[in-house]
Structure 1
Amino acid sequence: MADPAGRLSAREAVALVTDDFSELPAPTRASAPDGPLAWPGYDAARARAAERTGEQESVICGDARVEGTRAVLIAFEFGFLGGSLGVRTGDRLEAAYTHAREHRLPVVPLIATGGSRMQEGMLALTQLQRVARASALLREAGLPQIAVVRDPTTGGGWATLGAGADVVLALPGAQVGFAGSRVRPADADPAAYTAEAQVAAGAADAVVRPGELRETLGRWLRLLTRPSAAPAPPPAALGAPDLPATGWDAVRRARAPRRPRATAYLDAYFAHRVAIGGDRCGGADPDGVLCGFGEREGRTVAYAAQTGAATRPAGYRTAARLVRLADRLGIPVLTLVDTPGAANDAEAERQGAGAAIADLFGAVAAARTPVTTLVVGEGGSGGALALAAPGNTWATPDSYFSVIAPELAAAILKRSPAEVEATADRLRIRPQDLVELGVVRGIVESGSEQGSTRSPEQVIVTREGGRDPRG
């Protein structure tokens, strides 16, 4: 049954995503009268909650199939003492995570909670440590956790099961935030504590309408539970097929407004894809970097694609988050390089540009899963190189990669603007130059039809195969 506020009950939330749910046995624990603190009236409150909701605790846990993928579901019942976490709630949660690890299953918390149960005091609050430990063990096992935040999701439940998940989906208009409505400052803007605000702040990935939740969750589960050891093949080139004659010609073509950008490459490469959004540190860069997971010829490939704009710190942190998640799940990564460089305004510095770029360099360098990179446009200095796979970077004919933009190089070297084009040549930034220098493995061809790809052997130029006459 729905609670008086009209929110989804736990079983309604389960029914929203699956018709196949088998509840796990609930752990048993002896309980003193009125709980561990002997809180007056606690037993009576629990009895009323059980009668009102039909549940014996604030969560139900079970084995389920979501659009064909088996998972462990954890559904909170807000009508049972506000979906609060007590010791017996912790027992159920820990048992559910243990079951998931033993059976190699992803976990999907369907959260609606006000936080820890005051009638159990600090014993209730320490259940968050149990939850965090269980979640950490699931991560160590290489299994994903996808949270669905319902109305409301506040307090420790948001700060562990919710915000700590690999992917966070939210129902529209849900109240989401660490501070619940009764403990916020009186002048706090209520709009900041919504699902939509959390997506904008990079703390959640997407708002999903209830009618679309089952399909969306099923797609996420399929994509995140298909590890693969094979590298992602580089995409086919979608732009000009011929190689540039000069360095400045390479720059001009890479900067052409109508050159294919990240979205065109992703659409051609994947049958379908889902996006992650945000760095989990209060920022998002949707105009600078696109990140997510997609299906490519029956297997999952993660992607981080620069869009041609200057990349902001949140974009680098989101890409690093993507690479680390893919690495933990054993999913190959494709990165697309296309940026004039890292954002260099004062706000970018205040947001930690250097640290964000360093973090992405580290994530790519440490990745055990294979990473493939294609330079599809501008490769602007370290802000582009951070996304490039050492030893497995490819280029399109209408791209360039440079230590610095030719105009800036000329300025630093105190050369006149008239010498910019000559400077571009001296920098050796054309795709064919990059092959000769050993910076990229090869230059990809245009596919015979849009969306096709060529293997690493089917390229215009490779280090091993010599130089194309057009170069």
Structure 2
Amino acid sequence: MYAGPTAPGAPPSRGIPGEAEEPDGPLGWLGYDASRARARARTGEDESVITALASIGGTEVVLIAFEFGYLGGSLGERTGDRLEAAYAQARARGLPVVSLIATGGSRMQEGMRALSQLQRVAGQSALNRAAGLPQIAVVRDPTTGGGWATLGAGADVILGLPGAQIGFAGSRVRPGDADPYAYSAEGQFAAGQLDAVVPPDRLRATLRRWLRLLTVPREPAAVPEAAPPPYALGVRDLPESGWDAVVRARAAGRPRAEAYLRAYFDDREEISGDRCGGVDTGMRCGFGRRDGRTIAFAAQCGTATRPAGFRTAARLVRLADRLGIPVLTLVDTPGAANDAAAERAGAGAAIADTFAALASARAPVTSLLIGEGGSGGALALAAPGRLWATPDSYFSVIAPELAAAILKRDPRQIRQTAGQLRIRPQDLLELGVIRGIVPPGRPTPSRP
């Protein structure tokens, strides 16, 4: 997987200790030259970052690897030179960037000249993002400071090693009473900052799958073919009444998102978290392979969708759009979570952002209503003009019970209200809300 620092085409190193124009670095920090010389003797490297062209599972990448033994993997000017050259090479060759990070942050002995490298890294990352090139980060122990806040947290997919210390604040500068779990890979995953915690013995295979999914050959400015809607996996006949449609959609045994994802994809990997401190287990997002091509997915799992779920879905749609990958959304929710915690977490803004992500996507989005379609919380995941429905689903401006309450109707009129709302799949088709009702089918899943 790792080609080493002298691989053909690797960005050249600059400024080996002993070749510096300014003794003891840009600040004249007494003893800095000697520290670098000792680090070189100890590690065999002349900087804290090694870059190379490499192949991971047959996918060519630009690899960035930190050597923590060299001054704590800290970032200085020469580190910035190498990182800038690596990103530029990735753009020139149209390759993804894979970063193996272990760093304590910016190099004290170079002061603000070191800290300013974070701007260079962020700028280069933005250029690669605009070029539609994926970036994958593996955060090792430790990953703190500016290295986490640029190469790590700024990557498209972030994988953490178990037990790794990860956080903007390093162990020597954080509050003494800080909870160590918050600065661990597991804690960051729970807070929606990592996509997965991957044991070392599974890392190579996980990277191989992610690279296979995200490196999609495409013509510049070409619009990918839309994902086909899945077959219906539940009942075959249409509901007789509006209330019948509601009962079917709420049935405990109805096929949910997991069943549809299994039947639809040959292989898949998932992202996790909204990068804002939240995770919604009722929203499944990721990328899968179907008939030899990659399709992104965002799937509601039948629960009330929380703000973190909407933000994760929006992140998924924007990433897929940037990489030129079509998207499939599975709509199934009684509605957006409406408790006080959801309001404090920005439910309205999160829903608005999801609407905006789907509305502005250039890559085609295909949506299938597989169960409950509860108000705006469901509509936010429904692609305008490309929504299909299964026979055991319904879509309503609001739940029939709540509609009756708003209209101050007797609870005995809930069933009548459901009929008046015209929420059955055949009603939705007649009203022009959906493009069609998908036929039944039970393709054999390739993945258990």
- DSSP-derived class of the 2:62 partner: strand
Q: How does 1:213-224 map to 2 (within 5 A)?
A: 213-224=203-214
Cα distance between partner residues in 2 of 1:141 and 1:419: 56
Cα distance between partner residues in 2 of 1:301 and 1:327: 11
Q: Which residue of 2 aligns with 1:467?
A: none
With 438-447 and 23-32 compared, the bigger mean Cα shift is at 23-32
Q: Which residue of 2 aligns with 1:378?
A: 372
Cα distance between partner residues in 2 of 1:127 and 1:449: 52
Q: How does 1:6-405 map to 2 (within 5 A)?
A: 15=2, 22=8, 24-29=10-15, 30-226=20-216, 229-286=224-281, 288-405=282-399
- DSSP-derived class of the 2:55 partner: strand
Q: Identity percentage over the alignment?
A: 73
CA contact (8 A) 1:23 1:60 kept: no
Cα distance between partner residues in 1 of 2:7 and 2:195: 26
Q: CA deviation at 1:439?
A: 0.2
CA contact (8 A) 1:22 1:64 kept: no
CA contact (8 A) 1:289 1:307 kept: yes
CA contact (8 A) 2:248 2:254 kept: yes
Q: Unpaired segments of 5 or more residues in structure 1?
A: 1-13, 453-471
- DSSP-derived class of the 2:39 partner: helix
Cα distance between partner residues in 1 of 2:445 and 2:31: 66
Q: Which residue of 2 aligns with 1:414?
A: 408
- DSSP-derived class of the 1:62 partner: strand
Q: After superposition, give the CA deviation of every residue in 1:89-148 in whole Å (9 maximum; x if it has no partner).
A: 000000000000000000011000000000000000000000000000000000000000
Q: After superposition, give the CA deviation of every residue in 1:281-312 in whole Å (9 maximum; x if it has no partner).
A: 111102x1000000011000000000000000
Q: CA deviation at 1:22?
A: 4.8
Cα distance between partner residues in 2 of 1:271 and 1:446: 19
* AA in 2 matched with 1:61: T
- DSSP-derived class of the 2:100 partner: strand
Normalised TM-score (structure 2)? 0.95
CA contact (8 A) 1:23 1:61 kept: no
Runs of 4+ in 1 over 6 A off after TM superposition: none
- DSSP-derived class of the 1:376 partner: strand
CA contact (8 A) 1:35 1:120 kept: yes
Q: CA deviation at 1:408?
A: 0.4
RMSD: 1.5
Q: CA deviation at 1:31?
A: 3.1
CA contact (8 A) 2:231 2:442 kept: no
CA contact (8 A) 1:310 1:342 kept: yes
CA contact (8 A) 1:379 1:385 kept: yes
Q: CA deviation at 1:28?
A: 2.8
Q: CA deviation at 1:412?
A: 0.5
Normalised TM-score (structure 1)? 0.91
Cα distance between partner residues in 2 of 1:256 and 1:237: 15
CA contact (8 A) 1:169 1:208 kept: yes
Q: Which residue of 2 aligns with 1:11?
A: none
Q: Unpaired segments of 5 or more residues in structure 2?
A: 219-223
- DSSP-derived class of the 1:414 partner: coil
Cα distance between partner residues in 1 of 2:67 and 2:445: 46
CA contact (8 A) 1:27 1:95 kept: no
Change (3 A) 1:274 1:21: farther
Cα distance between partner residues in 1 of 2:364 and 2:358: 10
Cα distance between partner residues in 1 of 2:7 and 2:280: 38
CA contact (8 A) 2:51 2:86 kept: yes
* AA in 2 matched with 1:426: Q
Q: Which residue of 1 aligns with 2:420?
A: 426
Q: After superposition, give the CA deviation of every residue in 1:225-264 in whole Å (9 maximum; x if it has no partner).
A: 1156100000000000110000000000000000000000
- DSSP-derived class of the 2:437 partner: strand
* AA in 1 matched with 2:211: L
* AA in 2 matched with 1:252: V
Q: CA deviation at 1:27?
A: 4.1
Cα distance between partner residues in 2 of 1:448 and 1:26: 55
* AA in 1 matched with 2:392: D
* AA in 1 matched with 2:284: L
* AA in 2 matched with 1:257: A
Cα distance between partner residues in 2 of 1:448 and 1:259: 14
- DSSP-derived class of the 1:78 partner: coil
CA contact (8 A) 1:279 1:315 kept: yes
Cα distance between partner residues in 2 of 1:41 and 1:192: 35
Cα distance between partner residues in 2 of 1:155 and 1:344: 36
- DSSP-derived class of the 1:109 partner: strand
Cα distance between partner residues in 2 of 1:35 and 1:240: 72
Alignment coverage as a number of residue pairs: 436
Cα distance between partner residues in 2 of 1:21 and 1:419: 74
CA contact (8 A) 1:21 1:65 kept: no
Q: CA deviation at 1:450?
A: 4.5
Cα distance between partner residues in 1 of 2:358 and 2:190: 26
Cα distance between partner residues in 1 of 2:199 and 2:445: 30
- DSSP-derived class of the 1:300 partner: strand
Cα distance between partner residues in 1 of 2:252 and 2:7: 51
